[in-house]
Amino acid sequence: MTEPTGRLAAHGLSKRFGPIAAVEGLSFDVEPGQVTGFLGPNGSGKTTTLRMLLGLVRPSAGTAEIDGVPYAALRRPASVVGAVLEARGFHPARSARRHLLACTAAIPVPDAAAEEALQTVGLAGVADHPVGRFSLGMRQRLAIAVALLGDPRALVLDEPGNGLDPEGIAWLRTFLREFAQRGRSVLVSSHLLAEMEQTADRLVVINQGRRVYQGGLAELRSSAGPRVLVRCAAPARLAEALARSGITEIDSLPDGRLGVAGADPVRVGDTALAAGVAVYGMELERVDLEQLFFRLTAEQHRDGTPAPAVDPAPAVDPMRQWAPR
Amino acid sequence: MTAQLGAELRAELRKTFSTRLWWALGIPVLVLSILYNLFGALFAGLDDGPASTLVPLLSLAYTMVLTSVFAAVAGIVGAAGEFRHHTAATTYLITPARGRVLLAKLALGGLVGALYAVAAAAVGVPAGMIGTGRLADPGLMLGLVGVGMLIGALWAGIGAALGIAIGNQVGALVSVLIYLLLVDRVLALLLSSAESEAVAALAGYLPGKAADVVVYGFLADGLAMPGLGRRLVEEIATVRYPPQWWVALLVLAAWTVVAAGLGWLVGARRDVT
């Protein structure tokens, strides 16, 4: 038996609930040594995907593998993957310690692991209180404690930031980064990019059950390309001229300027000159990630056409596929 | 395998005894047992005839049947509670082999069911002695506690399996109680009124009636009162042509296996969301 690596992979995962396709043909992988952010708006299928990965929900199609085998085939799953799924998974009358001790018995690991986990998440002082009296943040911490009991190679967390106070979020971020730095893998879902920006090395972005991006956070940032912000005499005429020359990604900014993506200042200046529009100033601006995330997930595919699956590849300019609505 | 099931058993043991449910449900068992055996014995104490022996035994037998209903409730609430409190996800994450979780829950349910029978007898028999001033047929009483433990364990197991199969705690409770207290009896009545002896005899094979037949059949066999035996079962359990008590016990065990199969089939396929 080789040492577990904590590598997670989804191949063509799909899940239908009646007529509703929650997840469709989703593939991605999670490598050790990194924090992988699993990003998508609420209702985009993140929870269903994570539960398929963990063998709690049966996929309608596709497979999910941990260390190359389905979750159910793991010999000691708690020593391979620790999962933080929901803060409500506790009997309200059972104390935190008793909850952990039921888990240590089942895994099985020595009961000392429960005390250690309580220390790690900072709940040792309230370990004998019934969980029903815990705040949402304390329950999240307890869920993390449960996940740590088996000393797993990988952590899977579903929206762990929910209910945590800023201090708790900072603690969680540090904790996950250190966990990954020890060569273990982390898959953490969120609907907030800001939460991921300081935590994740890689991103898997999904929308409506389909993957719209997989790759490094740095690559996503650089793939965005700069925008040219133009202050000019007649924004509408310039926009028209730009559109005629094939540049369609143009936003009107609140301050009256135009934000032009997919063009450099030279081309914008030449087009303005040709259109006879006076230019008062130009500035290069990097698109921030929040905006990118919004573009990635704003697409509504009510007609059922597949969302563009965008992966960083040097030959393709991903921006072309992220046409605004 | 054995070592692993040991781990699941230990986990279920810790889960069961870390909430109030097991003793909270045990309280009505104790109270009802005391009341029933005390008043039964007070009646019996009124005369010196055979009733003074028979009534305390019948009271204990009835207590055992009643206890098995509470055992079923404990089994249901314990197992379905995992879904109500969303702890099933954690349980299945640690033990993805859901069949093993089911077996551990059956075993724990059985333990609690048997425990209830012992506890009911432990307070019921002394309460009866207050009434009659003596212990009627200790051997037979001990035997009744034994069969009471068995039907309590089996019905708690049925409850645990159905709790997993149904998932919804209230739904499981209501359906099992309605079946046990109403449907089973009506079915038995309908079957018993059939012309054919073979059809009428089926009543004793229903899961609820089988438990009655075990207890009253065991009692009837143990009483040295010829001719009374079968009439006792027919009158009190209201079952015509009842099977032997040990046959009824096997029938109840078979029903437990059926419930476990259902829990396994449904539980293994359920999406835990």
The residues, any chain, with a CB within 8 Å of residue B15's CB and separated by 6 or more, are A91, A94, A102, B78, B87
Task: For CA atoms A141, A143, A148, A152, give the dihedral sign.
Answer: negative
B266 touches chain A (CB under 8 A): no
Q: Could B97 and A72 be called an inter-chain contact, meaning their C-beta atoms sit closer than 8 Å?
A: yes
Q: Residue A277 carries which DSSP code?
A: -
B2 touches chain A (CB under 8 A): no
The residues, any chain, with a CB within 8 Å of residue B113's CB and separated by 6 or more, are B68, B71, B72, B74, B75, B149, B152, B153, B154, B155, B156, B157
CA pair distance A220, A132, nearest whole angstrom: 42
Residue B265, classed as helix, strand or coil, is helix
- The CA distances from residue B267 to A58, A91, B72, B88, B168, in Å, are 12, 20, 18, 11, 12
The interface pTM score, or ipTM, of the predicted complex is 0.90
Q: Could A102 and B86 be called an inter-chain contact, meaning their C-beta atoms sit closer than 8 Å?
A: no
Among chain A, residues having any CB pair with chain B shorter than 8 Å are: 47-48, 51, 54-58, 71-72, 74, 77-78, 81, 83, 85-86, 88-95, 98-99, 101-103, 105-108, 146, 150
Q: Report which residue type is found at A253.
A: L
B94 touches chain A (CB under 8 A): yes
Chain B residues with beta carbon closer than 8 angstroms to that of A102: 11, 14-15, 18
Residue labelled with tokens 């039907």: B151
CA pair distance A279, B11, nearest whole angstrom: 74
* Chain A closest-CA separation from residue B1 CA (Å): 11
Residue A161, classed as helix, strand or coil, is coil
Interface-testing mutation among B10, B94, B272, with chain A (most A C-beta atoms within 10 A)? B94
Interface-testing mutation among A85, A134, A146, with chain B (most B C-beta atoms within 10 A)? A85
CA pair distance B142, B161, nearest whole angstrom: 29
* Chain A closest-CA separation from residue B270 CA (Å): 7
Residue A66, classed as helix, strand or coil, is strand
Q: Per the structure block, which two tokens stand in for A256?
A: 């009256």
CA pair distance B76, B68, nearest whole angstrom: 12
pLDDT for position A311 = 43
Q: Could A86 and B89 be called an inter-chain contact, meaning their C-beta atoms sit closer than 8 Å?
A: yes
Shortest CB distance from B86 goes to which of A72, A89, A146?
A: A89
CA pair distance A215, A203, nearest whole angstrom: 6
Q: Could A103 and B95 be called an inter-chain contact, meaning their C-beta atoms sit closer than 8 Å?
A: no
CA pair distance A96, A108, nearest whole angstrom: 18
Q: Report which residue type is found at B64.
A: M
Q: Please tell me the number of Cα atoms within 13 Å of A219 on its side-chain side.
A: 16
| A159-172 residues labelled b (16+ CB within 10 A) or e (exposed) | bbbebbeeebbebb
CB B136 within 8 A of CB B53: yes
Residue labelled with tokens 């699956």: A309
Residue labelled with tokens 């089996």: B154
Tens of pLDDT, residue by residue over B193-244, are: 988 999 999 999 999 999 999 999 999 998 877 677 778 888 888 888 899 9
Residue A31, classed as helix, strand or coil, is coil
A8 phi and psi angles, rounded to 5 deg: -115, 145
Task: For CA atoms A303, A309, A310, A316, give the dihedral sign.
Answer: negative
- The CA distances from residue B17 to A94, A168, B75, B205, in Å, are 10, 32, 13, 34
pTM over the 0.95 mark: no
Tens of pLDDT, residue by residue over B100-149, are: 999 999 999 999 999 999 999 999 999 988 877 788 789 999 999 999 99
* Chain A closest-CA separation from residue B97 CA (Å): 7
Q: What is the pLDDT along chain A (325 residues), one digit of tens a residue?
A: 456 788 999 999 999 998 999 999 999 999 999 999 999 998 899 999 999 999 999 999 999 999 999 999 998 999 999 999 988 899 999 999 999 999 999 999 999 999 999 999 999 999 999 999 999 999 999 999 999 999 999 999 999 988 888 888 999 999 999 999 999 999 999 988 888 888 999 999 999 999 989 998 878 877 767 788 899 999 999 999 999 988 888 888 888 898 888 788 898 999 999 999 999 999 887 767 777 777 777 755 444 444 444 444 333 333 333 333 3
Chain B residues with beta carbon closer than 8 angstroms to that of A99: 18
Determine which helix (DSSP H) or strand (DSSP E) holds A251, and give its type and residue range. Answer: strand A250-252
CA pair distance A230, A226, nearest whole angstrom: 13
Q: Is the pLDDT of residue B1 over 60?
A: no
Please name which of B206, B25, B41 lies closest in space to residue B214, comparing C-alpha atoms: B206
Long-range CB pairs of A244-250 (<8 Å, 24+ gap) are A245/A271, A247/A271, A248/A323, A249/A319, A249/A323, A249/A324
A93 phi and psi angles, rounded to 5 deg: -90, -5
* Chain A closest-CA separation from residue B93 CA (Å): 7
* Chain A closest-CA separation from residue B8 CA (Å): 5
CA pair distance B140, B142, nearest whole angstrom: 5
pLDDT for position A324 = 38
Nearest chain B residue to A148 by CA: give it. Answer: B94
CB A187 within 8 A of CB A213: no
Q: Provide the pLDDT confidence category of residue B51 given band limits of 50, 70 and 90.
A: confident
Nearest chain A residue to B92 by CA: give it. Answer: A56
CB neighbours of residue A284 within 10 Å: 11
Chain A residues with beta carbon closer than 8 angstroms to that of B273: 47-48, 51, 56-57
